[in-house]
């Protein structure tokens, strides 16, 4: 029977041979000579086999922290493996990063498309401005796809080349539409020492970018009370009928509309943003104008002098002296133009009015005196009141007497 006080792992196996006693060594003898410490308190005897332990209330098991560091098990045993999440955390990082990257790519593509579109329109706009600055109206017209209509007769190389043109033209900013290729481009330029700003529009089709609304300005209104004016290189003068005429920005020299007028001073026309006035425009009839009018006045009075009725002559514009002893109703007159009335410029504001001098006329009236006898009498005359309309028709002056 085994000794219950001996630990189970030190007991000899039943039926086995007892372990041999270890032989004493000098080191062991020396150690035995040292005082022996007090024996430890004996372990309590094991409880009887039939004693059953009392059941203890069990606490609720703690939920393992999946992110806590692993703890070693009792007696150096490895800790139980922690429970891993269903979806690893790095997966969420990958998904979030991918979504953020996709959003950045989409925004970048949109910005790139707008940038490239705006850049293309902006480069065409700059080319357009450079053509205007060089006086190359035909190249600018090509970018604007102009058909050279009646209102575009100033948009030519000949006209723009002789004007004082813009300098330092710059396309500063392009603003594209979200729904179409229509792009507005802000521009700046200098003209005659002054800075100006403007806006042009460009659009795009299968042929590329083109200027849909260019840097042209409508000319100031020309009153119908003046014959108009002209600019060097223009095919014809600018009158009140040319209210829709456009021109590129520039400083244009103003000339008389035709040979029948002279321009006082050296006025200029500035065409630019917010410039709508035509200043210092004063026209006076030229010598050619007066000569043409005089020629037609001479013809008119020669026609009047050919009439033989006293009252017809007066109605035509020649005032004759009244005979003293002849009844004019049954007489005839023969009128001679001794000196044709001279034409001079009227002081009125209208450019189409003129005044006529008295001239000098002589006439002989033939008829019967108050006694019924044949008689003649000499008369004198001068230019009377006449009215006339003057019109410049091409290179001709047309005077219509009323």
Q: Rounded to an integer, what distance in angstroms lies between the CA atom of residue 332 and that of residue 376?
A: 10
Which alpha helices (H) appear in 146-206, and where do they start and end? 157-160
Buried-exposed string 326-354: b where 16+ CB fall within 10 A, e elsewhere: bebeebebbbebeebbebeeeeeeebbeb
Q: Is the pLDDT of residue 18 over 70?
A: no
CA distance 195 to 342: 52
Check residue 42 and give its pLDDT.
47
d(CA 345, CA 354): 5
C-alpha 378/C-alpha 364 separation (Å) is 5
The pLDDT confidence band at residue 337, using thresholds 50, 70 and 90, is very high
Q: Locate 75 and state its tokens.
A: 């007696």
Query: Is the confidence at residue 332, as pLDDT, over 50?
Result: yes
- Reference 200, options 210, 188, 215; nearest CA is 215
The pLDDT value given to residue 82:
55
- Cβ neighbours for 122, distance < 8 A, ≥ 6 positions apart: 171, 174, 183, 185
pLDDT band at 31 (very low <50, low <70, confident <90, very high): very low
256, 278, 268, 261: which is closest to 352 by C-alpha?
261
Q: What is the tens place of the pLDDT at every residue in 311-324?
A: 999 999 999 999 99
Q: Environment class of residue 264 by beta-carbon count within 10 Å: exposed (0-12), middle (13-18) or buried (19+)?
A: exposed
Residues 80-121 pLDDT 10s: 555 555 667 766 777 777 787 777 666 555 444 444 445 699
Whether the full predicted model's pTM is greater than 0.85, yes or no, is no
In the structure, what pLDDT confidence band is assigned to residue 394 with cuts at 50, 70 and 90? confident
Domains of the chain: 116-283 (3.10.450), 287-401 (no CATH)
pLDDT at 71: 52
Joined tokens for residue 268: 């200029």
pLDDT tens digits for range 57-72: 454 455 555 444 445 5
Count of Cβ atoms closer than 10 Å to residue 20 Cβ:
6
**In this structure, are residues 166 and 189 in contact, taking their beta carbons and an 8 Å threshold?**
yes
* Mean of all residue pLDDT scores within the chain: 79
């Amino acid at each position: 029977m085994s000794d219950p006080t001996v630990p189970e792992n030190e007991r000899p196996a039943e039926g086995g041979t007892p372990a041999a006693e270890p032989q004493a060594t000098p080191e062991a003898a020396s150690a035995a000579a040292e005082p022996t410490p007090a024996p430890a308190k004996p372990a309590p005897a094991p409880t009887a086999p039939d004693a059953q332990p009392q059941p203890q209330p069990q606490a609720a098991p703690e939920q393992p922290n999946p992110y806590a560091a692993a703890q070693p098990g009792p007696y150096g045993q490895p800790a139980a493996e922690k429970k891993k999440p269903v979806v690893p955390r790095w997966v969420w990082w990958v998904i979030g990063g991918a979504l953020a990257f996709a959003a950045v790519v989409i925004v970048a593509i949109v910005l790139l498309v707008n940038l490239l579109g705006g850049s293309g329109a902006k480069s065409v706009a700059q080319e357009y401005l450079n053509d205007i600055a060089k006086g190359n109206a035909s190249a600018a017209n090509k970018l604007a796809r102009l058909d050279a209509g009646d209102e575009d007769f100033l948009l030519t190389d000949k006209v723009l080349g002789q004007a004082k043109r813009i300098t330092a033209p710059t396309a500063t900013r392009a603003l594209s539409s979200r729904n179409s290729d229509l792009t507005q481009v802000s521009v700046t330029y200098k003209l005659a020492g002054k800075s100006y700003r403007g806006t042009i529009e460009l659009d795009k089709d299968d042929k590329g970018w083109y200027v849909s609304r260019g840097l042209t300005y409508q000319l100031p209104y020309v009153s119908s009370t003046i014959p108009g004016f002209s600019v060097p290189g223009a095919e014809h003068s600018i009158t009140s009928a040319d209210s829709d005429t456009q021109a590129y920005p520039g400083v244009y020299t103003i000339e008389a509309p035709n040979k029948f007028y002279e321009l006082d001073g050296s006025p200029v026309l500035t065409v630019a943003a917010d410039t709508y006035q035509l200043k210092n425009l004063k026209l006076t009839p030229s010598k050619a104008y007066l000569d043409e009018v005089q020629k037609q006045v001479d013809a008119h009075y020669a026609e009047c002098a050919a009439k033989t009725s006293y009252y017809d002559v007066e109605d035509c514009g020649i005032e004759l002296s009244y005979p003293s002893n002849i009844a004019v109703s049954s007489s005839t007159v023969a009128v001679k133009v001794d000196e044709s009335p001279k034409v001079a410029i009227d002081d009125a504001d209208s450019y189409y009015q003129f005044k006529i001098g008295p001239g000098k006329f002589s006439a002989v009236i033939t008829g019967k005196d108050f006694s019924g006898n044949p008689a003649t009498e000499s008369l004198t005359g001068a230019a009377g009141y006449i009215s006339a309309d003057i019109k410049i028709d091409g290179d001709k002056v047309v005077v219509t007497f009323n």
